[in-house]
Structure 1
């Protein structure tokens, strides 16, 4: 049955009314909710706020490096230390390395641009910070519904939006208990509608509904095409003799070539644990490249491997992956539309030059909340919250992103040019740059046909330092109900074999960090694409990098996906 047929047979859906609905219980969404409740308490008003979260709990789908700049958190909750926020490990030392296959050169710290200096910042588990923010929100009276993915945007019936378009009036959650065949099972439950005067979308990078809103309201008109990267992360416990609490190590260069954007991090957390990860820009050209395998190969570099050796050895504790929106200020869409707004990485506020986005997520959530509260007090609804982007343009965050606006674009000219020019812009000119570089096309358009590229042969994993995808997905605690429609959908089922495999050598089997996509032989001896949706860690890379844009990521049943703990 189609969605409309299910509604016709089982509807109407139950509806709940709120002043503000927030989609996504990450740092941006929770900060929106907290700020709304703070403002209401200050004015002695009542504002009803609900936050929907597709993960099993707040933080379950949150993955980041992460070094956190506490500036925005301090604005939101000045007493965060007293309240027990899990920001316990300050950065004590910065190291930046340029790697060759066997060697490394360190940039002297006095030459590091300010964007690579982390004095005053904290090494955190952003998943744990998110859990703590959820506790603060609930303490203020925010309702949080975990395991309820927002699957559909609801619109008004009038033409109150620009060009006669309707306005957003809320969202509907996904139906539960639909079988693989699309038919309702005995456990079927119809989704619920949540109506609001304003709906704030905080889904993270490449948000399923945010993408639809950008397209419907043409929010990216006149902007540079958006750009993304994939970040792949592991958490390890290492020998205490090789652990340096507070060390923040970054690298560029090997194993990537000089024309492919990317780099690594290794952050020494509390308890002899390290967060190690690798970022690859999704505008890479060679379809044989595998970001997952590049990460595994990176760990074998002598300067990196050393940390995982030692008398007491090392143990891998966690794994995950997530897309990052890295286009910056020039790719930032219009963030408001009739009835709502985009905040955090759903819009693309991450500062790629600093490798940080949590402070931007918190700040934009606060700004959107202030605009929504002002509108509610004026008894408005479903209009554009124009004071939100206006406040952003006057904020310290806008100044920070403006200063870094050329960072990603320089890397299309190669690592060495980008390194020199970033140094000139950030170190010599202190961000006061008189020129602006623009991006020309979307990430998936950079992929070249396989015939024009050299295959990459990756070494087999040793099971001690390097691993395969399936054993990695296992420790991400990823789970999806087996009897449900695949949430990784194809616009045209013939395209994977006829185009992706024949022209691009099946890149989805390599860019996916979870082994979701594989080409197998069918009963007639031909090729077919098998989608192992149960492995999906919700990174959204397939939705971004598919060269034909034939793959569309939609929400699975609530609670499905990874269950990250200390990520």
Structure 2
């Protein structure tokens, strides 16, 4: 163990650096689309430009979780021959079903709204699709570095982003370097594309630094998902079922999905809006209860759960899209919030935004655009390209869907129906909201406690048992979940005393607990599935989510 002065010298030592033309943070659909499009254009023009993709998961796809029914529109544009390239996109959507769950046993069918018409779409595992996309990127010459978390941006004297720094490795739980300590590297670039997904840590820091959030605050939902394996004769590949209503109360934005994927997989999940008021709501337990509804259980009976995970989803829509460019970089995909909420889809929009980011970065570097001068330029052409794209018009047309549910389930259903069938998204008004999700929580004294049934071990499961099916692992390292400076007393004095410790319920991995009746918080960071919920919903948002210092930590999603 290094002495204290030596340890400080190690932590503050100069990093080695490497130069690239383009650095992309995040190896999901948006980041890989950016890399592929950038390299496609380089190949078309004979230019030798370098691009690197940095991914915090131990491999591409390990941290990717989504429903997922894929609209192939963006993929058709990016890789037109994806079928010939044997993409893991095989299960065509065959049947759409939309139900309103009235109680724990009753349901009524509803007309499938146009947004949920999945004709021409595919049921996929998005983690598998991203692995395939990484192969396509590497064939084009993209450097991909998994297990490489980015801890911070690198800025020049004028405050422009000129690259990123990877996390130091080999720091013990005491925060001191161990014998295996290695300083992170600086990767400098003419442009940096941030495509970290929903609530990316560097993306959030950059949005604050450059005041990019100029519209409504972003709002979120938590999506909790399991993958089940059933007998092939029970699987109906392409069957798509969505529900709303029970087990949520009428004042909670919530809905479910259930998809059959060949040859024998069922993807089932529940989405709960994080603007809920009652701090006693437990989204994980809501999901476990939901699976006992006969409309759901009939699909799962006789099968076995093979995977579990959770991830937050942007649901702020068009109103919450931030400014997309800043000196030295751009925001793409779910880092910027490109999710079509009523369609329950964000992959096609993420891919298109990434492709346009890669395209405009290339043009700016090679065609005398704003980035041709070198490090730190702002490629404003990307903002224009997005505003002229089908993503922008698609997002704008559904801008009032989620805000309509602020008045409750019935009001939301009525308005969304009118918008879909009559107004067509052309209404001249726009609904807004001003509160963050954490500000929507009511004091515990104003709410009723919720008694959830115990899991039966067949359809429903204990949280920590289910967590083992996420592949989550974190090595010996300091907690990456930090209480923000000035909020050291917030867990006890605000969260526990006033709000009844909601983080002990909303976390889908059992990270936060108050084991004694004294308000003392315990953070089990080794359980974290990187869903980002704690950075959104804790009272006063007292948690700062940072990347784990050891690359490859977190979940290991293979089927999600």
Query: TM-score normalised by the shorter chain: which range applies?
Result: over 0.9
Residues in 2 aligned to 1:516 and 1:526: alpha-carbon distance in whole angstroms: 18
Counterparts in 2 of 1:515 and 1:405: CA distance versus 1, 3 Å: same
Please state whether the residue corresponding to 1:252 is helix, strand or coil. Answer: strand
Q: 1:244 aligns with which of 236, 248, 251?
A: 236
Structure 1 segment 27-426 matched on structure 2, within 5 A:
27-101=29-103, 102-108=105-111, 112-157=112-157, 159=158, 166-221=159-214, 223-309=215-301, 313-377=302-366, 378=368, 379-381=372-374, 382-426=376-420
Please state whether the residue corresponding to 1:416 is helix, strand or coil. Answer: helix
Q: 1:511 aligns with which of 498, 506, 526?
A: 506
Match of 2:558 in 1: 565
Match of 1:163 in 2: none
Residues in 2 aligned to 1:153 and 1:385: alpha-carbon distance in whole angstroms: 18
Please state whether the residue corresponding to 1:493 is helix, strand or coil. Answer: coil
Q: 1:487 aligns with which of 477, 480, 483?
A: 480
TM-score, normalised to structure 1's length?
0.95
Counterparts in 2 of 1:426 and 1:380: CA distance versus 1, 3 Å: farther
Match of 2:491 in 1: 496
Contact 1:22/1:50 (CA < 8 Å) preserved in 2?
yes
Contact 1:235/1:274 (CA < 8 Å) preserved in 2?
yes
C-alpha deviation, 1:527, in angstroms: 3.5
Residues in 2 aligned to 1:427 and 1:470: alpha-carbon distance in whole angstroms: 44
Counterparts in 2 of 1:349 and 1:215: CA distance versus 1, 3 Å: same
C-alpha deviation, 1:227, in angstroms: 0.5
Match of 1:162 in 2: none
TM-score, normalised to structure 2's length?
0.96
C-alpha deviation, 1:228, in angstroms: 0.5
Query: CA RMSD for the aligned pairs?
Result: 1.5
Deviations 1:236-272 (A, max 9, x none): 0124443211001000000001111110000000122
Contact 1:480/1:561 (CA < 8 Å) preserved in 2?
yes
Contact 1:2/1:182 (CA < 8 Å) preserved in 2?
no
C-alpha deviation, 1:303, in angstroms: 1.1
Residues in 2 aligned to 1:130 and 1:9: alpha-carbon distance in whole angstroms: 34
Residues in 1 aligned to 2:12 and 2:423: alpha-carbon distance in whole angstroms: 63
Matched, 1:473 2:467: yes
Residues in 2 aligned to 1:240 and 1:173: alpha-carbon distance in whole angstroms: 45
Contact 1:371/1:385 (CA < 8 Å) preserved in 2?
yes
Residues in 2 aligned to 1:241 and 1:325: alpha-carbon distance in whole angstroms: 36
C-alpha deviation, 1:113, in angstroms: 2.5
Structure 1 segment 433-444 matched on structure 2, within 5 A:
433-444=427-438
C-alpha deviation, 1:494, in angstroms: 2.1
Please state whether the residue corresponding to 2:130 is helix, strand or coil. Answer: helix
C-alpha deviation, 1:439, in angstroms: 1.4
Please state whether the residue corresponding to 1:475 is helix, strand or coil. Answer: helix
C-alpha deviation, 1:526, in angstroms: 3.3
Counterparts in 2 of 1:518 and 1:131: CA distance versus 1, 3 Å: same
Match of 2:443 in 1: 449
Counterparts in 2 of 1:174 and 1:6: CA distance versus 1, 3 Å: farther
Please state whether the residue corresponding to 1:527 is helix, strand or coil. Answer: coil
Q: Which runs of 5+ in 1 are unaligned?
A: 160-165
C-alpha deviation, 1:547, in angstroms: 1.2
Matched, 1:14 2:16: yes
Please state whether the residue corresponding to 1:454 is helix, strand or coil. Answer: coil
Contact 2:497/2:519 (CA < 8 Å) preserved in 1?
no
Counterparts in 2 of 1:376 and 1:546: CA distance versus 1, 3 Å: same
Residues in 2 aligned to 1:257 and 1:2: alpha-carbon distance in whole angstroms: 55
Residues in 2 aligned to 1:508 and 1:514: alpha-carbon distance in whole angstroms: 11
Contact 2:71/2:122 (CA < 8 Å) preserved in 1?
yes
Q: 2:453 aligns with which of 444, 449, 459?
A: 459
